[in-house]
Structure formats: structure tokens, C-alpha cells
């Protein structure tokens, strides 16, 4: 594996999930693999889980880690080519990425969308330029459109808790007070469309995700109908893709509650976190026996470790 930007970078998804679960049982088995190797984790946005789980995964593989909060500690980056830099940006991504590539063997990057210009965000210009100029493998810590380390952790969590070979998994939109990216939902959808699950997405009209990530999913605008017999309910807010970055609904009826859980097959409830209690998910679910959110967050370590292991192995 050279880069890890989307599910398309994985040739055998079941094999990667199996490897992650083996690492969970034996975290230090490959402690020598990352010896004398350095991973740089570059954050342009906040993070708790991604930051700590990836550091822990790298440590388990014997790697050194450099973390940089680029938005607060770095120079303001210019990404456009051919511009005269006589405004606020101080350093061009061409030099910044190339220099970081001199110090690191692998670089992880988090860069959220601005949610202003759909074409700009969905072109993944920042990530593509980072890959082009860094000269070392890049792992996504969440891009404008995708969050693959989260989705792999989600699949690991389903794999280790499922009680039937082909569970029904429902991704449901939930209300939120802010406009959030589509990245987690896009990514979860493209991974589920490749997994051995019955996959349904439910959301209010006007919240359809980009087709490129939902090919193979059943879309159901009636949440109650979608939840029928679900084995897993994945709760997530996203802003509108069609009316790009806008919030059309804050309808509290879309919040998952124990009442809605009665429609399901006693479904396990998932969320990538951070979650807004009482808006996206009811306390009774988060504090109840059906919640998998902590196990899911814990699996972020094994997701990252399996991916970093494959990247290190590819480097030789």
C-alpha cells in the first residue's frame, strides 16, 4: 500500500480487517518494523481520536512521531499555482510538503473542506498536491471528502460484533446545529458498499450524498422504514451536498432514541465521535447497552496500525 486516501487504495478489505484484529490481539508483534522510521502527523483542523490513535499505532510499530498543528503552528500555506504571494500566505505547499517529506517516511494529513465551493472541496486539491510534492506515502487523517481510517475502524467494529454473516447496516442522517462535512458519511458509504452487508442510507430529502460514494446502497427517505430490522445503525450528520454546505433541516425527529431503536433488530448504534448529546443521539442510547461508540473509537488504533504496517512493508 503506497498511499491510504480511500477504500480504492485497499486491494483486499477482508484481509486488512483480519490483520487489524490480529494486531488487536498482539499489538507489539511488529515492533521492529517501524524502527528508525518517522511519521509526521499534520493537522489543519482539530482532532482527538485520529491524533492519539495514530500516534499509538505508530508507537506500537516502533515508529517515531512528529505532530504539527499546521493551522496554529505553521506558516499560512498557499495552494494555488502561479500566484504572486503578496497577501496573507507565507509558504507554498510545493515547498512545505517537499520539506516535510525530507523529515518523515510517512505523512498523515488532516484537511477539512471549506464547504463554500463544492468543486474546490471535491477536487481534493490540497491532498493531491501534498501527495505530489511530499515524495513520501500519505495517509489520510480525514480529507475534504473522505475519512478512511474511521471507516476501516467502523468495519472492524462490525466484523467483531456481528451475530449473522450479512447484517443490515443503516446509515442515518441526524440533526446538528452546524454545517458539517460529508466526509464521514461518504467514506462509511463507500466502505459499506464493498463490505458483505445489506446497506441502507436514510436522510431527509435534499441530503443525498454524491453518487460516486453511494453506488450499491439503497436510499430510503423514510427513517422509520429504513430502521426496520436493522442490526447496526450508524448515526451521522452532514450538510447538504446538492445545496452545497447548507443546513436545510434540524428536525429533532431524526435524532436516534430508544423509541426508534424498537424498530430495529435490537441494533447496535455507532457514531464516529465527537457527538452532540441530545441533538444527534439521545443520552439513553449513548449510555445504554446498544452503544458501540467507545469500542469503535478504540478500534481506531488497530485501523491505523494495520494501514501503517502495510505502508511500512511496502517501503521495504
Binding residues for N(2)-succinyl-L-ornithine: 142, 176, 236, 276
Q: Which residue is nearest to ligand CP (CB)?
A: 50
Any idea of the CA torsion for 131, 314, 192, 25, to the nearest 10 degrees?
-130
- The least CB distance from residue 212 to ligand CP, in Å, is 22
Element containing residue 236 per DSSP (H, E): strand 232-236
Nearer to ligand CP, 15 or 274 (CB): 274
Q: Based on the number of CB atoms within 10 Å of its own CB, is 154 exposed (0-12), middle (13-18) or buried (19 or more)?
A: buried
Nearer to ligand CP, 6 or 264 (CB): 6
- The least CB distance from residue 82 to ligand CP, in Å, is 34
Residue numbers in the known binding site for carbamoyl phosphate are 47-50, 75, 110, 147-150, 272-273, 300
Nearer to ligand CP, 49 or 176 (CB): 49
- The least CB distance from residue 114 to ligand CP, in Å, is 17
Nearest alpha carbon to residue 140 among 131, 235, 72 = 131
Rounded-to-integer distance, Cα 110 and Cα 45, Å: 7
Interacting residue ranges for ligand CP, rule: CB under 6 A: 47-50, 142, 150, 272-274
Nearer to ligand CP, 51 or 260 (CB): 51
**Sign (positive/negative) of CA torsion 215, 142, 272, 246?**
negative
Nearer to ligand CP, 14 or 274 (CB): 274
Q: Interior CA angle at 229 toward 214 and 255, to 5°?
A: 70
Residue numbers in the known binding site are 47-50, 75, 110, 142, 147-150, 176, 236, 272-273, 276, 300
- The least CB distance from residue 47 to ligand CP, in Å, is 3
Nearer to ligand CP, 101 or 148 (CB): 148
- The least CB distance from residue 56 to ligand CP, in Å, is 13
- The least CB distance from residue 184 to ligand CP, in Å, is 7
**Strand ordering across the sheet containing 38-43:** 64-69, 38-43, 106-110, 138-140
CB atoms within 10 A of CB 11: 9
* Strand partners of residue 281: 256, 277
- The least CB distance from residue 110 to ligand CP, in Å, is 8
* Strand partners of residue 66: 40
Nearer to ligand CP, 216 or 274 (CB): 274
93 Cβ neighbours under 8 A, 6+ residues apart: 77, 78, 79, 126, 129, 130, 133
Amino acid at each position: 500500500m503506497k498511499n491510504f486516501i480511500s477504500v480504492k487504495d485497499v486491494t483486499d478489505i477482508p484481509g486488512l480487517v483480519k490483520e487489524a484484529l490480529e494486531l488487536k490481539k498482539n499489538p507489539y508483534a511488529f515492533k521492529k518494523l517501524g524502527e528508525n522510521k518517522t511519521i509526521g502527523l499534520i493537522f489543519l483542523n482539530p482532532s482527538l481520536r485520529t491524533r492519539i490513535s495514530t500516534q499509538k499505532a505508530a508507537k506500537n510499530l516502533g515508529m517515531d512521531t512528529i505532530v504539527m498543528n499546521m493551522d496554529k503552528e505553521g506558516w499560512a500555506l498557499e495552494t494555488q499555482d502561479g500566484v504572486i504571494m503578496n497577501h496573507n500566505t507565507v509558504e507554498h505547499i510545493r515547498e512545505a510538503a517537499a520539506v516535510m517529506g525530507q523529515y518523515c517516511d510517512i505523512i498523515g494529513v488532516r484537511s477539512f473542506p471549506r464547504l463554500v465551493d463544492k468543486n474546490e472541496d471535491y477536487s481534493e486539491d490540497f491532498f493531491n498536491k501534498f501527495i505530489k510534492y511530499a515524495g513520501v506515502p500519505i495517509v489520510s487523517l480525514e480529507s475534504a471528502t473522505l475519512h478512511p481510517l474511521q471507516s476501516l475502524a467502523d468495519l472492524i467494529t462490525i466484523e467483531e460484533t456481528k451475530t449473522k454473516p450479512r447484517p443490515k447496516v443503516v446509515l442515518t442522517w441526524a440533526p446538528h446545529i452546524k454545517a458539517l462535512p460529508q466526509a464521514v458519511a461518504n467514506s462509511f458509504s463507500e466502505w459499506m458498499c464493498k463490505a458483505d452487508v445489506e446497506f441502507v442510507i436514510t436522510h431527509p430529502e435534499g441530503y443525498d450524498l454524491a453518487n460516486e460514494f453511494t453506488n450499491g446502497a439503497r436510499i430510503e427517505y423514510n427513517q422509520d422504514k429504513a430502521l426496520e430490522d436493522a442490526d447496526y445503525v450508524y448515526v451521522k450528520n452532514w450538510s447538504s451536498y446538492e445545496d452545497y454546505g447548507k443546513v436545510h433541516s434540524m428536525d429533532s425527529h431524526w435524532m436516534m432514541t430508544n423509541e426508534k431503536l424498537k424498530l430495529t433488530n435490537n441494533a447496535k448504534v455507532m457514531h464516529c465521535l465527537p457527538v452532540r448529546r441530545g441533538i444527534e443521539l439521545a443520552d439513553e442510547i449513548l449510555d445504554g447497552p446498544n452503544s458501540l461508540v467507545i469500542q469503535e473509537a478504540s478500534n481506531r488504533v488497530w485501523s491505523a496500525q494495520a494501514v501503517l504496517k502495510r505502508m511500512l512493508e511496502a517501503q521495504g
